Amino acid sequence: MFCILQYVVRRKSITIHDSPSLLQGRQGKHKLSVCSKICYAIGGAPYQITGCALGFFLQIYLLDVVPMSPFHASIILFTGRVWDAITDPLIGFFVSKSSWTGFGRLMPWIILSTPFAVISYFLIWFVPGFTNGQLLWYLTFYCLFQTLVTCFHVPYSALTMFISKEQSDRDSATGYRMTVEVLGTVLGTAIQGQIVGKVEDSCGPNSFQNQSLESVNGSQDPEFLTNMVSLLNLHESKALIARVICAIYVLCAIVLSLGVHEKRDSCELLSDQPISFWQGLKLVMSHGPYIKLITGFLFTSLAFMLLEGNFALFLKYTLKHRKHFQNILLVIMISATLTVPFWQWFLTRFGKKTAVYFGISSVVPFLIVAAVVNINLIVTYVVAVAAGLSVAAAFLLPWSMLPDVIDDFVLKNPDSPGHEAIFFSFYVFFTKFASGVSLGISTLSLDFAGYQTGSCDQPESVNVTLKLLVCAAPILMILIGLLLFKLYPIDEEKRKENKKALQLQRDADRDSDSDSIELASNV
C-alpha cells in the first residue's frame, strides 16, 4: 500500500514540477555499476550448485552410499520435490507481504535463511549412526533445505526489479546472473560428484556398508577391516566436500548482501491498479499460448528430469563405467554450458520453434545408440557431449519463449498488466511437481525390478529398467512434447508482429506522457 501511495505522489510531483529534459537527466543517474552487477550475479550460484548436486547425485547417494531401499528413497525424492514445488508460491506470497526494514524488503529473507540452509544441506549428506530413523532424517532435512533455499531464491529472483529502475541495467544484470548460474551447475556437478564417485571404492561382495561401524573392533577379518577403512575415508571425504559447498553458499550470500543495494524507489514499478492473485491466475491460465507452451515443455522437461535422476545409475550399472560416471556427468554440464551461446544464436537466426525441434530432438539418436549398442567409454563421452547440447536447448528455450507469451498476453489484455510473476512461478511449479512424480516413479520402478543396495552388480531386470527410464521413456516424452509444440501459435512471424505492436503501443504511451508533462509545465 505504501508503494502504491508513493507511486501516486511521485507521479504527481513529476507532472507538476519537472520538464522532459530534467526527467531524462534523472533517468541517466544512478546507473548500476559493474561491481554491483557481479555481486548480484554471484548470488545466483548457491541455488544452482546445490540444485544440480541434488538432482544428479541424491538418488544414487541414498541407494548406494547411505544405503537405503529404493522404496524409502522414492518417498524422500518424491516428497522433497513436491514440497519444493508447493513452497514456491507460498514463499512468494509471504515475500510479497514483507514490510520494509533497514536491509530492505527482500534481503532479510536471504540473510536469515542462509545459515539454516547450509546446516540442513550438510545434514542431507551426513549418514547418521542409526538405521531405523534414516527415512525420517533425510526426509526432514531434504524438505527443510528445499524450504530454506526457496526462501533464498524467490526474493533473490524478485531482487532483479529492485536493484535499478533502468530496464537496461536489469537486463545487463540478468545476463551476468545467467553466466554465473550456468557455471554454478558445472561447479555443483564437479564438487558433489567426487563424493558419490568414491562409492565404487567402498563397494564389495561383503556389502560391508550394511554393517555397523562399531563392529570394526570386534572383527578380525583383514578384508572386512580394509573395507571399513575405505568406508570411513569415504564418509570423511563426503563431509569435507559438503562443507566446501556450504562455504561457497555462505560466501555468495555475503557478497550479495554487501555488494547489492535494494532500492526502495523501485516499488514504483508496481502497478497502480493491482488486482487479486486469483483474478490474475484466472487470466493467465485462460491464455491459450501459455497453456500450450507449458504443456509442451512439461513433457520435454520430464524427459530430461528422468535422464538427470537416473543417468548416474545407468552409467554405473548398465554401461559398467563405475569409475568414470561422475566425470561423464561433468562432461554433460560442460557441454551444456559451452553450447548455450550457440543456441542463443540459433534461435535468433532461425526462430525459437525451429530451435525447439532441432535442439530437443538432437539427443534422441544418441539415446537409441546407448540403449541398443554396448558402447565403450569413448563413445559414451561422445553421447555425453551430444546430451549436453540438447540439455542446453531444453533449459534455455523455456525462459526465452515465456516472454513472448507475456507480450502476447499484454497485447490481448492491455487493462491487466503486472502478471509476469504468475507466468514464471507456475511454470516452475509445474516442472518441479513433475520432477517429483518422475523421480518417485523411477525409483519405485527400480525397487520392483529388484535393485540391490550396496551391491556392485545389479540383476538384468534392473539394467532393462534403467534402459527404459533413461532411453525409452525420455524419447516418448520428447516426441509427445514436440507434437504439442505444433499447436503453439507464436512462431517467428507472430513474435515479430507482437513486438512491433508493443513498440507502437509504448511509443503512443510515451507521447501521451510527454504531452501531459509539457502541458503541466506551461501552466
Residue 488 above 60 pLDDT?
A: yes
pLDDT digits (tens, 9 = 90+) for 21-38: 443 444 444 577 888 889
Mean pLDDT lowest among 79-93, 196-210, 277-291: 196-210
Would you place residue 55 in the very low, low, confident or very high pLDDT band (cuts 50, 70, 90)? confident
Assigned C-alpha cell, 88: 514456491
> Per-residue b/e over 8-25, b at no fewer than 16 CB within 10 Å?
eeeeeebeeebeeeeeee
Predicted confidence at residue 407, as pLDDT, reads 82
Maximum average pLDDT range among 8-12, 56-60, 358-362, 496-500 = 358-362
Q: Cα 328–246–306 angle (5° rounding)?
A: 40
Residue 274 above 70 pLDDT?
A: no
| Mean of pLDDT over the chain | 77
Distance CA 231, CA 225 (A): 10
Would you place residue 216 in the very low, low, confident or very high pLDDT band (cuts 50, 70, 90)? very low
Residue 504 above 60 pLDDT?
A: yes
Residue 214 above 60 pLDDT?
A: no
Beta strands in 307-424 (DSSP E): none
Higher pLDDT pick, 26 / 236: 236
Would you place residue 479 in the very low, low, confident or very high pLDDT band (cuts 50, 70, 90)? very high
Assigned C-alpha cell, 84: 519444493
pLDDT digits (tens, 9 = 90+) for 413-422: 776 655 666 7
DSSP for 295-313, please give it: HHHHHHHHHHHHHHHHHHH
Per the rule left: phi > 0, alpha: psi between -120 and 50, beta: everything else, 433 is alpha
Three-state secondary-structure class, residue 131: coil
Q: Which of these, 461, 488, 254, lies nearest to 352 by C-alpha position?
A: 488
Sign of the C-alpha dihedral computed for residues 436, 441, 447 and 449 taken in this order: negative
- The contacts of residue 387 (CB under 8 Å, 6+ apart) are 307, 332, 335, 363, 366
Cα torsion 354, 356, 361, 363 to 10°: value is: 120
pLDDT digits (tens, 9 = 90+) for 344-383: 788 888 888 888 999 999 889 888 888 887 778 888 888 8
Contact 330, 391 (CB under 8 A): no
- Cβ count within 10 A of residue 515: 10
Contact 52, 188 (CB under 8 A): yes
Task: State mean pLDDT over 159-187.
Answer: 76
Mean pLDDT lowest among 2-16, 67-81, 188-202, 432-446: 2-16
Predicted confidence at residue 269, as pLDDT, reads 40
Per the rule left: phi > 0, alpha: psi between -120 and 50, beta: everything else, 320 is left
Sign of the C-alpha dihedral computed for residues 488, 493, 496 and 502 taken in this order: negative
Task: State mean pLDDT over 148-157.
Answer: 88
Distance CA 64, CA 208 (A): 12
Distance CA 375, CA 387 (A): 15
Helix axes 107-124, 222-259, angle to 10 degrees: 180
Distance CA 252, CA 113 (A): 13
Distance CA 343, CA 359 (A): 8
Q: Which of these, 374, 378, 347, lies nearest to 360 by C-alpha position?
A: 347
Q: Phi/psi of residue 391, each to 5°?
A: -60, -45
Q: What percent of the chain has pLDDT over 90?
A: 14
Higher pLDDT pick, 239 / 144: 144
Higher pLDDT pick, 16 / 271: 271
Task: State mean pLDDT over 266-293.
Answer: 67
Neighbouring-strand partners of residue 104: 101
Q: Which of these, 116, 114, 141, lies nearest to 126 by C-alpha position?
A: 141
Predicted confidence at residue 478, as pLDDT, reads 93
Task: State mean pLDDT over 299-322.
Answer: 84
Three-state secondary-structure class, residue 104: strand
Q: Which of these, 391, 413, 372, lies nearest to 284 by C-alpha position?
A: 413
Higher pLDDT pick, 450 / 326: 450
Higher pLDDT pick, 428 / 255: 255
| Gyration radius of the chain's alpha carbons | 25
Q: Which of these, 270, 267, 264, lies nearest to 104 by C-alpha position?
A: 264
Predicted confidence at residue 272, as pLDDT, reads 44
Would you place residue 7 in the very low, low, confident or very high pLDDT band (cuts 50, 70, 90)? very low
Distance CA 230, CA 227 (A): 5
Assigned C-alpha cell, 51: 540444485
Higher pLDDT pick, 32 / 114: 114
Per the listing, cell 569409475 goes with: 323
Would you place residue 519 in the very low, low, confident or very high pLDDT band (cuts 50, 70, 90)? low
Higher pLDDT pick, 500 / 116: 116
Distance CA 440, CA 334 (A): 27
